[in-house]
Each structure stands twice: as structure tokens, then as C-alpha cells.
A and B are shown apart, each in its own frame.
Chain A
């Protein structure tokens, strides 16, 4: 089954404790991205990757890091989480840019206290 998986689905952590949210897709997609969803703001792009070892900032990259060492995986790293990073996070992948539909993972709900 074609899918994007994220782990964990729920995470409660404390300020400053480094964490990683994993994302994996099995569709051989070149393009992957991370979004955060906040009430009233819709989804905003954090980082994206056009291919292995190629990443770039989206709209709201501050406080986040990513890496793309394999085509299927695109982890999101919060080196020092803060309460304002409490949000619902989605990973997405697609064949390419522009017209292509993005396939979204199930989401990760992160709470930073």
C-alpha cells in the first residue's frame, strides 16, 4: 500500500529536549516536505527536499532541522524545542513540484511544555 508514515503520532516533551520525528514514504517520490498546522493558519511549510541531500527552507524554518540521506526518509529534528513549537506536524511526499498532488502522512501531534 502506498503511504507516508510518521512516528511518533503523539509526543509530549519538555523545553530544550532534542527530538526527532521520522517520516518515510514507499512511493519512490523525489519530493518531500514538512508542514505544521496551527488553528486558523492552515498548514505552513517548514522545510522541503527535492531529492537526496537537497533540502531548503519553507515558510517557517526557524527552530527546525531536516536531513535527506535516503530517498524514502525525511526526518524532522527539533534541537531545542520550545512551547511555540507545539503543533500538529505533517510530512508529505510527491512525484514532483507544481501540479503534483502531495501525499500526506497521518500527522504527529507535538506538545512542548
Chain B
């Protein structure tokens, strides 16, 4: 069964600090997809990134970067020079490609609440 662990339940930083959110996953599939979603205080879920298991290139988007390492089953998310608007709950999620040939079971981690203080 697939599993996603976000060991950091809450992180507090001061604005402009860099912060890394950890995500460790378990899966038996060789083909799978990893996602990060952001949930700001308003409550909606915002898609940030998708990465497939065959693409281990790190990705950078502005102040956001993602480090995917299959060897350690990790998909960590770093925010550089954090801002107050980054305050949110961040979820890492995993989808296996062949879940009973259906279902798209998207398994979420428990989430990390990030608080960025001015």
C-alpha cells in the first residue's frame, strides 16, 4: 500500500528565511506521481507541482524548488526567502499509475503547517 509521511507537522520561520518541507513516500509501483498542494488559510487546495517517478530532475519555480530523490524516497519542497503569504498548510501526495487499473488513489501526507512571521 502506498503511504506518504510528512514528519513536520508545524514549522515557524521569520520572513526571508529559507525553509524546507520534507516528504517521504512508500510505494511498490515503479511508475508513480508525486504532487505538492498548498492550502492557504482560506481553505482551498492549490496545485503546485507534479513529478513522475522517471524524472529526477530538480525543479525551480521562482522562490519554490523541489528535490526528488528516488534513492531515499523523498520529494522535498524548499521555499527560498519566505514571505508571510507563504503561510499555509502544504500537502505532499502520491498517485500510483496502476492502482487496480482505476481509482487514481491519491494518497496525501498529513500536511505541514508553515507559519511565516514578519
Choice from A41, A94, A97 contacting B102 with Cβ under 8 Å: A97
Choice from B6, B33, B111 contacting A98 with Cβ under 8 Å: B33
Shortest Cβ-Cβ A-B pairs, 10 listed: A97-B104, A42-B108, A104-B45, A43-B108, A98-B97, A42-B110, A99-B33, A40-B110, A101-B47, A107-B43
- Which residues of chain B have C-beta atoms less than 8 A from A35's C-beta? 108
Do A45 and B35 touch across chains, with their CB atoms under 8 A apart?
no
* Chain A interfacial residues counted at CB < 8 A: 28
A48 to B102, CA, bound (A): 10
Do B103 and A48 touch across chains, with their CB atoms under 8 A apart?
yes
List chain A positions with a Cβ less than 8 A from chain B.
Answer: 31, 33, 35, 40-45, 48, 50, 56, 58-59, 88, 90, 94, 96-104, 106-107
Within the complex, the shortest CB–CB distance from B114 to chain A, in Å, comes to 15
